[in-house]
Homo-oligomer: A and B are copies of this chain.
Amino acid sequence: MKGGQVTIKDIARELDISPSTVSRALKDHPDISPETKKAVNELAKKLHYQPNSIAQSLRKSKTNTIGIIVPEIVHFFFSTVISGIEDVAYNAGYNVIICQSNESYEREVSDTFALLSHRVDGLLISLSRNTKNFDHFREVYERGIPMVFFDRICEELDTHRIVVDDKEGAFKAVEHLISIGCKRIAHIEGPRNLVICQQRLEGYKQALEQHGLPYDEDLVVIDNVGSRESGFERGQQLLKLDNPPDAVFAHNDMAAHGVMLAIKEAGLKIPEDIAVAGFSNWQFSSLIQPSLTTVAQPGFEMGREAARMFIDQVKQDKEDFQAQTQLLKTELIIRESTVRA
């Protein structure tokens, strides 16, 4: 019992049997006599024996650990997804190592290799906003390590993926804006390299088209940051147009809030002059004034499903693997920012 940690050898020595027998007794191997099992288990309990899972991992080439890479931990949506992953992982006997890329491509790469070095059994990933090159994940892929991308997915690799139906979510939000009488609907677009943002733009376009509204590129502005400040600036930019919008649909709730602040500052009313809708599972979109209409995403469910897809893949024969893309439904939550008296 060196270093305070009891090992199988300690138990074997004390009972004057071999480590092999102890190992087998501990896992209730049918070969071992009931008496031996009893003696081993009692002593193990008495000494507070705990298997060294590092040794087990090395032996079995399996760590029962899942690596997660998210852009940020301090983020309602991502922490909710993590919580969902953790829930399923815990019940399936997996531990979870979490890294945050801080929206940095370089950090994402180094996180990936750190997790590989830790021999995680798989990776659950949501891309950083700045990731345009996927070589690091291609290497993971080529080593045969399961990956599941969630929300901010990578389309270049043949892996499981899970997203909400971003296009449909955006479509519903914009259709709703049209239904309350808006004719010039602007869109604050997220980073172009993120598929989810492309989809949201696509849903916006489709809704306009389907309802016979023209697509005006002056009304579509890019916001690569997605913060309140950047949304505020995009809002100001839109308000300066000769023919400003009567509604704004933003790619996320933070940006939407920034737009609202810009509208208020210009002395205009929400939703009477300009209606606003956002996108996300943002915890407190209900708290801002006026409360914000938003497309809610099932983050916890996404986490649970991502973990399940991973576990299914691990259980499966490699030959049988078929990459799947799960699409989760969003829910349009209508609030004051789009309800005209």
Contacts and interface: CB of A to CB of B under 8 A. Distances in A.
Interface of A: 3-5, 48, 50-55, 57-58, 61, 63, 65, 72-76, 79-80, 82-83, 86, 90, 95-100, 113-114, 116-119, 139, 142-145, 283-284, 287-289
A150 to B, nearest CB: 16
Contacts of A90: 99
A55 B53 contact: no
A136 to B, nearest CB: 11
26 contacts: A3-B144, A4-B143, A4-B144, A4-B145, A5-B143, A48-B139, A50-B113, A50-B116, A52-B119, A54-B57, A54-B58, A54-B63, A54-B119, A58-B58, A65-B97, A72-B83, A73-B86, A74-B80, A74-B83, A75-B79, A79-B79, A86-B100, A95-B97, A97-B98, A284-B284, A284-B287
A70 to B, nearest CB: 11
A83 B76 contact: no
Contacts of A100: 83, 86
A69 to B, nearest CB: 12
Contacts of A65: 97
Given A54-B57, A74-B76, A95-B97, 20 more contacts: A4-B145, A48-B139, A50-B117, A51-B117, A52-B58, A52-B119, A53-B117, A53-B119, A54-B118, A54-B119, A72-B83, A73-B83, A74-B82, A86-B100, A95-B118, A96-B97, A96-B99, A97-B98, A287-B288, A289-B289
Contacts of A287: 284, 287-289
Chain B CB within 10 Å — which of A55, A74, A97 has the most?
A74
Nearest to A76: B74
Contacts of A61: 3
A58 B56 CA distance: 10
Contacts of A118: 53-54, 95
